[in-house]
Amino acid sequence: MSVLPVFFAIWQLLHCRARFSSYTFAMSQTDPNKPEVLSHIIEEVMDDCIRVFVLKGLQACSMEDFYEACGPHRAYVEEHFTTKQDFCAAVLLWWLNSIFAELKSTISLHSNLHSAIEAVLYEFIDICVGHRESKHGDKFCVLDSMALFDEELLAKFAMYYQEGVKHFRLKFMDLKSELKDPDDIEKLLIFYVMILEGLYVLIRRGFSCNMLFEYADMSLHTLEFYEKRPSDKAAD
């Protein structure tokens, strides 16, 4: 199992430049008509709630402890979340979507595989470093670690993550003709998911942006090995 339960197994990300859709909280007990309201509430209460979970333990913490930590937003949170895991899952999904939304937008701007992967790696570093420096950064570290010890939370995290990765698999498949052997596209997808996970770990450990970008550039040499050469393209 990766340090991040499946992602980043994804890809901690999160201040958050998120773009929330009704899908964002469809997996939790939420009001699909007001995702932007719920996302705002979650951002307001998550610091205090996660602090309670850490100090008392997710399992030992009572629902009353949880709701009390929500302060003036208690009634709204009570209405939408009946378990602590539901709340944690919603925060994780909010967090993942904040990352995937940016990365999907970035990868969609590029029509060749090399530039698309390069842009995603750079954007990912920018987002994660921003989250590391934000007031919420440490809270998401706690949550993704907590998920490793809670089967229900881990299962939801894995499901959300796999859903987010689908878009990237489609983009890779669309551009597989740029490879000497198109069948190598799946192994490259897995490779770059691993690169993202590795970058995430380095970001959490405080590596500098210059070092992170250097490692990202090093990974692109692997892609070049699989890409068609100019002579191959001319033959096509």
**What pLDDT shows up at residue 231?**
63
DSSP state at residue 183: G
pLDDT at position 136: 63
Identify the CATH assignment for 22-235 out of 3.40.630.40, 1.10.3470.10, 3.40.50.720, 1.10.357.10. Answer: 1.10.357.10
pLDDT, position 235: 58
Residue 139 sits at the vertex; the CA angle it makes with 138 and 140, to the nearest 5 degrees, is: 90
In DSSP notation, 81-125 reads -SSHHHHHHHHHHHHHHHHHHHHHHHHHT-SSHHHHHHHHHHHHH
Q: How much is the pLDDT for 47?
A: 81
Q: What is the rounded distance in angstroms from the CA atom of residue 56 to the CA atom of residue 62?
A: 9
Distance (Å) of CA 94 to CA 14, 154, 170: 9, 15, 22
Length of the chain, in residues? 236
pLDDT of residue 93: 78
Write the CA distances from 151 to 5, 89, 111, 146, 147, integer angstroms: 11, 12, 39, 10, 7
Per-residue model confidence (pLDDT) at position 12? 36
pTM of the model: 0.74
* Lookup: tokens for 196: 């993202």
236 residues of the chain, pLDDT tens digit each: 344 443 443 333 333 333 333 333 333 344 433 445 567 777 788 888 888 888 888 888 898 998 999 899 888 888 888 888 888 888 877 777 778 888 988 999 999 999 999 999 999 999 989 888 876 666 777 777 777 777 877 787 777 777 778 888 899 999 999 999 999 999 999 999 899 989 988 998 889 999 999 999 999 999 999 998 876 655 55
Q: In 3D, which of 91, 97, 96 has the Cα closest to residue 45?
A: 91
199 touches 212 (CB < 8 A): yes
Alpha carbon distance 76, 29 (integer Å): 12
- 227 contacts 178 by C-beta, under 8 angstroms: yes
Specify whether the CB–CB gap between 149 and 204 falls below 8 A. no
